[in-house]
Amino acid sequence: MKIVVSVGGSVAVPSIDSARVAAYAGMFEELVAAGHDLGVVVGGGPTARRYIEAGRDLGANEIELDQLGIGATRLNARLLAGALGDRATSSPPSDHDAAREAMRRGSIPVMGGTAPGHTTDAVATALAEHTGADLLVFATSVAGVYDGDPDEDTTATRFDELTPKELIEVIADIEMTAGSNAPVDLLAAKLLQRSGLRAVVVDGTDPDAVARAVEGAHDGTDIAPER
């Protein structure tokens, strides 16, 4: 299968140490060994958030804050690419053509962010669309898409399955400032709607959840196109 994985920085690099990055690299190597073609996009996590907070205190505008976030995502992408060694691109591709070319050569493109105004979820969704991926996995810090914020509302329940249209309704009211928190960003959901891609949102604190999603045995949220 051709698979694109959007890995939240808060799950791939929750703090700057090697353990989780190595676990992710090991899981990706197993997917490649099983014959899958892989593209990976890494988020900025707490590093992005801290830069964005400091920039906001200093009076930076939202585009400048997005650029700080992009810098952090690309730093995390370099860390993961380093762990993958020769299997991965040596620097994060800055556009989708370069990432697609890398996949065609049998290399794993490890991208970060690209341009202001969205998050790495949208970058990954566009990569999945551009490469005709069979599956897009969002590995996030929550175990799927909920009808509320599970960190703040104990009664929030997880959806087993949503159409892209339903996903858009769930996330439409979440604010879109730099560093904001949504299970999947709105542009990504819109791209999912037009592309007909199959996607899954899983808890990425355990990298094996991504492997289980590839096997179709996950307990997150399926985003399936309308039939």
Give yes or no for residue 48 binding ligand UTP (CB under 6 A). yes
- Taking CB under 6 A as the rule, does residue 1 contact ligand UTP? no
Please identify, using beta-carbon distances, which residue of 32 and 171 lies nearer to ligand UTP: 171
**How many CB atoms are closer than 10 A to CB 146?**
19
Q: By CB under 6 A, is residue 218 in contact with ligand UTP?
A: no
Single residue of 44, 164, 183, 220 touching ligand UTP by CB under 6 A: 44
Strand partners, 2: 37
The beta strands (E) that lie in 149-220 are given as 161-162, 199-203
- Say which DSSP state 176 is in: -
Tell me: does residue 125 bind ligand UTP (CB under 6 A).
no
CB-CB contact of 83 with 24 (8 Å) = yes
Q: How far is the CB of 41 from ligand UTP (least distance, A)?
A: 8
Q: Is 113 in the site for ligand UTP (CB under 6 A)?
A: yes
Q: Name the packing angle between helices 164-171 and 186-195 (round to 10°).
A: 170
Q: How far apart are CA 203 and CA 221, in angstroms?
A: 10
Binding residue for ligand UTP (CB under 6 A) from 82, 116, 150, 225?
116
DSSP label of 216? T
CA nearest neighbour of 105 among 161, 37, 29: 37
Give the C-alpha separation, 206 to 65, whole Å: 29
3-state secondary structure at position 222: strand
How far apart are CB 8 and ligand UTP at their closest, in Å?
3
Pick the stretch among 69-77, 83-91, 129-137, 218-226 that binds ligand UTP (CB under 6 A): 69-77
Q: 88 near 81, Cβ under 8 Å?
A: yes
Piece of the chain touching ligand UTP by CB under 6 A; list 68-76, 79-87, 127-135, 194-202? 68-76
Binds ligand UTP (CB under 6 A): choice among 20, 25, 39, 73 = 73
Residues 6+ positions from 90 with CB-CB distance below 8 Å: 81
| Smallest separation (angstroms) from ligand UTP to the CB of 36 | 23
- Indicate whether 183 belongs to the interface with ligand UTP (CB under 6 A): no
Contact flag: residue 123 with ligand UTP (CB under 6 A): yes
State yes or no: residue 129 binds ligand UTP (CB under 6 A). Answer: no
Site residues, ligand UTP (CB under 6 A): 8-10, 43-45, 48, 65-66, 69-70, 73, 113-121, 123, 178-181
